[in-house]
Amino acid sequence: MSGGLVVALSGGVGGAKLALGLSRVLPVDELLIVANTGDDFEHLGLSICPDIDTLSYALAGLDNPVTGWGRRDETWSFMESLAALGGEDWFRLGDRDLAVHVERTQRLRAGQTLSQVTADFSRRLGIGPRIVPMTDDRLRTRLRIDGGWVDFQDYFVRQQARPAIREIAFEGAVGARPQPDVMAALKGGGLRAVVICPSNPFISIGPILAVPGLRDAIAHCGAPVVAVSPIIGGRAVKGPTAKMMTELGLEATSAAVARRYGDLLDGYIVDTVDADDVAGLDLKITVAPTLMTSLEDKVALARVALAAADALR
């Protein structure tokens, strides 16, 4: 069975790979990508939205294949000039990328919502499916490390995710309202599936589910909810997911990620190497290659995720 809207929850690099695959197999009006904005921050006077931009660049074919974030064919004159002046250069903003932050900041200051700015940028970059922030309100991921609380990008980029994480908080979550189109999609009829992309369950999907009402709306959406594990053989493909799980007292396994999502999930897609690891879970398990290197891999995994969801309808 196919047809109907697919809502995909995604963080940055890993999630964007599956989102790109989904965008290649679904009609543009049958995919709504919900981006994490917990990583967003204000830096050098600019509003930076890393996961929205990573998703946008990936779907526009403008992504940097080496870093996974930022733009391809980037130049760094701004950063070099900033460093020469003694400015903060730990968070690298390429020249082309910079234009996005400058224009977004202007528009947000003029009163547009992040959803409006993102939609217009998407149209101008030729992106078909909709990418929406999980909320238009301010929600910031904060991490407690030894020494106190720090902003997400301070931990992730400036300190290169080295400190051990003791606690995670989503500042502003209590008052954040879910992005209206996401709620309408989850509550309206015609939903085919919710796909949780292979993103970090704590810092990428966690903030999305922390927006009041969103987790509940997903749980009661009436369509299958499937997740793709971000862990392959006890390791994250990219980023500190495995390290973070260990620090938070969990095993760095696909099974532990599924337990983290709890009763939200109907189906779970894990890599072939993790088939035994998830054998005890009370979930419909699909075993498939989940490492996405080529576009073909992304498309293939998107098809697997959709088939897994459809089989649960």
DSSP one-letter code for 204:
T
Q: And the tokens for 287? A: 């075993």
Taking CB under 6 A as the criterion, the residue among 7, 16, 53, 196 binding ligand FO1 is 53
Q: Give, in order, the Cα–Cα distances in Å from 104 to each of 33, 79, 120, 168, 257.
A: 19, 19, 10, 28, 34
Q: Is 21 in the site for ligand FO1 (CB under 6 A)?
A: no
Q: How far is the CB of 26 from ligand FO1 (least distance, A)?
A: 23
Q: Is 149 in the site for ligand FO1 (CB under 6 A)?
A: no
* Distance from chain centroid for Cα 230: 11
**Burial class for 224, CB neighbours closer than 10 Å (0-12, 13-18, 19+):** buried
DSSP one-letter code for 263:
G
Q: Which stretch binds ligand FO1 (CB under 6 A): 44-52, 114-122, 132-140, 164-172?
A: 44-52
Which 3 state secondary structure label does DSSP give 20?
helix
Q: Which stretch binds ligand FO1 (CB under 6 A): 22-30, 89-97, 246-254, 301-309?
A: 89-97
Taking the least distance from each CB to ligand FO1, the nearer of 229 and 241 is 241
Contact of 8 with 182, CB cutoff 8 Å: no
Roughly what angle, to the nearest 10 degrees, separates helices 13-25 and 50-60?
40
Q: Is 63 in the site for ligand FO1 (CB under 6 A)?
A: no
Q: Is 121 in the site for ligand FO1 (CB under 6 A)?
A: no
Q: And the tokens for 25? A: 């197999």
* Distance from chain centroid for Cα 199: 6
294 Cβ partners below 8 Å, 6+ apart? none
Report the site for ligand FO1 in 230-249 (rule: CB under 6 A): none
Taking CB under 6 A as the criterion, the residue among 91, 125, 243, 248 binding ligand FO1 is 91
Q: How far is the CB of 159 from ligand FO1 (least distance, A)?
A: 11
**CA neighbor of 5 nearest in space, from 28, 21, 24, 37:** 28
Report the site for ligand FO1 in 152-211 (rule: CB under 6 A): 153, 156-157
User: With CB under 6 A, what is the number of residues at the site for ligand FO1?
Assistant: 17
Q: Which residue is nearest to ligand FO1 (CB)?
A: 12
Q: Is 76 in the site for ligand FO1 (CB under 6 A)?
A: no
Q: Is 70 in the site for ligand FO1 (CB under 6 A)?
A: yes
Q: How far is the CB of 1 from ligand FO1 (least distance, A)?
A: 33
Q: Is 51 in the site for ligand FO1 (CB under 6 A)?
A: yes
CA dist 301 and 297 (Å) reads: 6
Q: Which stretch binds ligand FO1 (CB under 6 A): 49-57, 103-111, 188-196, 277-285?
A: 49-57
Q: And the tokens for 79? A: 């950063």
β-strand partners of 149: 144
Taking CB under 6 A as the criterion, the residue among 9, 11, 117, 274 binding ligand FO1 is 11
Q: Is 92 in the site for ligand FO1 (CB under 6 A)?
A: yes
Q: How far is the CB of 57 from ligand FO1 (least distance, A)?
A: 8
Contact of 292 with 63, CB cutoff 8 Å: no
Q: Is 274 in the site for ligand FO1 (CB under 6 A)?
A: no
User: How open is the CA angle 273-232-204, to the nearest 5 degrees?
Assistant: 150
Q: Is 74 in the site for ligand FO1 (CB under 6 A)?
A: no
Q: How far is the CB of 54 from ligand FO1 (least distance, A)?
A: 6
Contact of 233 with 239, CB cutoff 8 Å: no
Which 3 state secondary structure label does DSSP give 58?
helix
Query: Contact positions toward ligand FO1, by CB under 6 A?
Result: 11-13, 39, 48, 50-51, 53, 69-70, 91-93, 97, 153, 156-157
